[in-house]
Amino acid sequence: MKNKKIIFIGSILFIILLVFVLYLINNKEGSSKIYNEDKFDSKTDTEPVNLLEAVLKKNGKNKIEAGYSTFVGGEVLTEETFFIDYAFIVNNKAYIYDPEKLKTDELSYKKVYDIPDNINVTNIGIPFGADIYFYDDIGNQYILKDTNIDNDIKSGYLKYEKANYELKNYTTELYKITDNIKENYDIRCNLFYAKDNILYKINYGYYNFIEKRDVPDSVEKVSGNYENQKILHIYNDRIVKTDKGFYELIEYSDNGNIYTTTMKIDLLTKYYDDVLTFTYDYVILKDYTLIPINDVMTNRSQKYLNGFYLGRLDEKPVEFVE
């Protein structure tokens, strides 16, 4: 009996010791995993395996130092999600979102309208008040009109929160580009459209006070390094996704003239499959990490300005890669 008691106590002590050792090993592995995920940085020669690691390496930071947040509830997003400053459309549903909450890992959005399934949404228009414009694939432009006449005319998310939306067809003519121009297109945004994988810029007419004459509406082809690729989407009115890469539509000055072209966004193209979609401020990865668009630029002579306005370089780039 005495021997059995000793054996029993010894067995219990052995099991406790074994559990303790396994705990220490597991804790060490967990700590190592956290270090690898959160503290990858450029201070080593480790080759990045994804876009996040490549950006951290380029900018000399680890994930904690970079302070990147995530798009909480990102399961609603797809590659065909199109954002403006306080709204986005995906899968025929319109949402509004508070961009300030993106910075603090909070749920930022709520659904405000179900777009009929017989409308194939191909892009979103630029912001105007609390109204939400969008385009279909057969030349129509629609508007989710804010019908709340008591809504204050102020900027910011609160204006969208107070809105009451009603769907209206904004088109008077199919494929209408301007008052004077009608063009067939595959994809449309405010300043550009794509037809047969060629980009065209829309030049809206204006009055030239120096020459004292009206300059009419016009359309011009955009030449650039996107050509001979299939155009899939245009995000933010200026970021083009093809079947081979990502490109920024940009203007530059040269010999007194202004040219419009494309700059290949190098890191986004290299890690093409990591990218889900874009807000005006962020690249959204497929794991819903938010990376500021400026952080992915490797060779841009001027800071990328968030929003839908085209950037303009003071001189012709040496190479059309950024």
State residue 211's pLDDT score: 87
| Alpha helices, DSSP H, located in 69-225 | 99-102, 157-161
Q: How far apart are CA 286 and CA 29, in angstroms?
A: 26
Q: Are residues 82 and 215 in the same domain?
A: no
Q: Are residues 200 and 274 in the same domain?
A: yes
Q: How far apart are CA 268 and CA 247, in angstroms?
A: 9
DSSP secondary structure letter of residue 50: S
State residue 264's pLDDT score: 98
Q: Are residues 35 and 48 in the same domain?
A: yes
Q: Are residues 202 and 233 in the same domain?
A: yes
Task: State which of 146, 174, 202 marks the end of a domain.
Answer: 174
Q: Are residues 194 and 311 in the same domain?
A: yes
Q: Are residues 188 and 315 in the same domain?
A: yes
Task: State which of 21, 41, 66 marks the end of a domain.
Answer: 66
Please report the sign of the dihedral spanned by the C-alpha atoms of residue 103, residue 106, residue 112, residue 116.
positive
What stretch of H or E contains 262? strand 257-264
Q: Are residues 197 and 279 in the same domain?
A: yes
State residue 18's pLDDT score: 60
101: its two tokens: 């909450």
Q: Are residues 266 and 305 in the same domain?
A: yes
Q: Are residues 206 and 306 in the same domain?
A: yes
Q: Are residues 274 and 207 in the same domain?
A: yes
State residue 150's pLDDT score: 78
- Structural domain tally of the chain? 3
Q: Are residues 195 and 284 in the same domain?
A: yes
What is the pTM (predicted TM-score) of this model?
Answer: 0.85
Do the Cβ atoms of 146 and 128 come closer than 8 Å?
no
State residue 1's pLDDT score: 47
Task: State which of 51, 66, 81 marks the end of a domain.
Answer: 66
What stretch of H or E contains 129? none
> Per-residue confidence of the chain (322 residues) as pLDDT tens digits?
445 455 555 556 556 656 555 555 555 444 433 334 444 445 556 889 999 999 999 999 988 899 999 999 999 999 999 999 999 999 999 999 999 999 999 999 999 999 999 999 999 999 999 999 999 999 999 999 999 987 676 778 999 999 999 999 999 899 999 988 999 999 999 999 999 999 999 999 888 899 899 999 999 999 999 999 999 999 999 999 999 999 999 999 999 999 999 999 999 999 999 999 999 999 999 999 999 999 999 988 888 989 999 999 999 999 999 9
Provide the residue range defining the domain that includes 45.
Answer: 2-66
Q: Are residues 170 and 224 in the same domain?
A: no
